[in-house]
Amino acid sequence: MTKEEKREFIKGILFTSPWLIGFSIFVIYPVVASFCYSFCYYSVIQPPRFIGLLNYKDLLTDPIFWKSLWNTFYFVIFMIPLGFVASLSLAMLLNTKVRGMAFYRMIFFVPSLVPMVAGSILWMWIFNGEYGLLNNFLIKMGIPNPPNWLMDVNFAKPAIIIMSLWGLGQTIVIYLAGLQDVPVALIEAADLDGANWFDKLWNITIPMISPVIYFNVIMAIIGGFQIFSQAYIMTGGGPQRSTTFYALYLYQTAFEDLRMGYASAMAWILFVVILILTMLVQRISKESVYYHGG
């Protein structure tokens, strides 16, 4: 490194130092600390005490841990494809040339601006079994005994999935940006070749927006595994633990039971699960994601 390069390097470090310091204090330190605490008995108030792999061993025989993991997988498995279909379909509709499109786009984006607590309370009313908006609609549609959504073991998770679809505004916007980047020339060429709507979607649109799909799927996996607020506010994890998602159980363990070591171990398991899934998606993406000029 020349003298000039060294000087530039130091300048660069100095300019980025506020971020570097913040990142080290608020990200790196907590991450390293939580890894250490996962091998400790730690209640925040008392100093941590090293207990080896006991937290991880206890987790393996904890039925709520497994139940919460299953609930979260259930949510992610249904939420990702449903979210993909719903957001891409809506983005395609919002990509058409219709009068007042800016207004329609706004309508679909606005729900994602509503704070989660307010949204959850609103959906509690919508899902109310007796006078909820949804059940009134279903009764009018000829379904005489609609489910008691949030109080029914079989419908509480689907209810939270439905509610989560409501907040897809940001994903829709990202898809919309991707769709607008699809070269018109390719579509016109396909039209000349007599391709139908599905052919164009399958052979041009989806491959061209595959990097966007890849990004959204990764974000959906990460977000899906962190689902918390809806269950915390709307169901408290019930009925019968059917909505005790992983993050909710982690929160209860850490902040209600003061078992920070145990909760840290849970957090690291969650990290490993998300990492494996992300790597899996990345491997699949190598063959199926098309990058312009890449």
Partner 1 sequence: MKKLVVFLFATFLAFQSAGCADKEQNSDTVKVTYWEKWSGFEADAMQAVIDLFNSRKFRNKDGKMIRVEMSTVSEIDRRLLTAVAGGNPPDVAGVWTWIVTTYAEKGALLPIDDHLREAAITEDRYIPVFWEICRYKGKMWGLPSTPASVALHWNKRLFREAGLDPNTPPLSIQEFDEMAEKLTLIKLPGQDKAISFYELKTRTNYKNLLGQGMIIQMGFLPSEPGWWPWSWGYWFGGKLWDGKEKVTADGPGNVKAYEWIRSYSEKYGVENIKRFSSSFGAFASPQNAFLSSKVAMVREGVWMYNFIDKYATGMDWAAAPFPSDGGKLKDVTYAEADILVIPRGARHPGEAFKFISFVNTQEAMELLCEGQRKFTPLKNVSEDFYARHKNPYIRVFRALAESPNAFITPKMVIWQEYLRELNFAYEMTRDLKAEPKKILSDVNKTMQKRLERELEMSKRSGEKR
Residues that bind partner 1 (CB under 8 A): 41, 43-47, 49, 51, 58, 63, 128-132, 148, 151-153, 238-241, 252, 255-258
Q: How many CB atoms lie within 10 A of CB 237?
A: 22
1 three-class SS = coil
Q: How far is the CB of 97 from partner 1 (least distance, A)?
A: 45
Task: Check the CA dihedral 113-233-159-217 and report its sign.
Answer: positive
Q: How far is the CB of 206 from partner 1 (least distance, A)?
A: 43
CB 130 within 8 A of CB 139: no
Q: How far is the CB of 289 from partner 1 (least distance, A)?
A: 43
| Residue in 174, 180, 210, 154 with CA at minimum distance from that of residue 95 | 180
Q: How far is the CB of 92 from partner 1 (least distance, A)?
A: 38
- Measured from the CB atom, is 95 or 243 closer to partner 1? 243
| Residue 1 to residue 213: CA distance in whole angstroms | 41
Q: How far is the CB of 240 from partner 1 (least distance, A)?
A: 5
Q: How many CB atoms lie within 10 A of CB 105?
A: 19
Q: How far is the CB of 73 from partner 1 (least distance, A)?
A: 20
What are the CA-CA distances from residue 182 to residues 23, 74, 175, 187 (Å)?
A: 37, 33, 11, 8
- Measured from the CB atom, is 152 or 228 closer to partner 1? 152
Collect all residues with Cβ–Cβ distance below 8 Å to 32 and sequence separation of at least 6: none
- Measured from the CB atom, is 11 or 49 closer to partner 1? 49
- Measured from the CB atom, is 230 or 235 closer to partner 1? 235
- Measured from the CB atom, is 6 or 49 closer to partner 1? 49
Q: How far is the CB of 221 from partner 1 (least distance, A)?
A: 28
Q: How many CB atoms lie within 10 A of CB 33?
A: 14
- Measured from the CB atom, is 202 or 255 closer to partner 1? 255
- Measured from the CB atom, is 63 or 142 closer to partner 1? 63
Tokens of 158: 């689907």
CA dihedral 56, 62, 65, 67 (to 10 degrees): 150
Ramachandran category for residue 128: left, alpha or beta (phi over 0 → left; psi -120 to 50 → alpha): beta
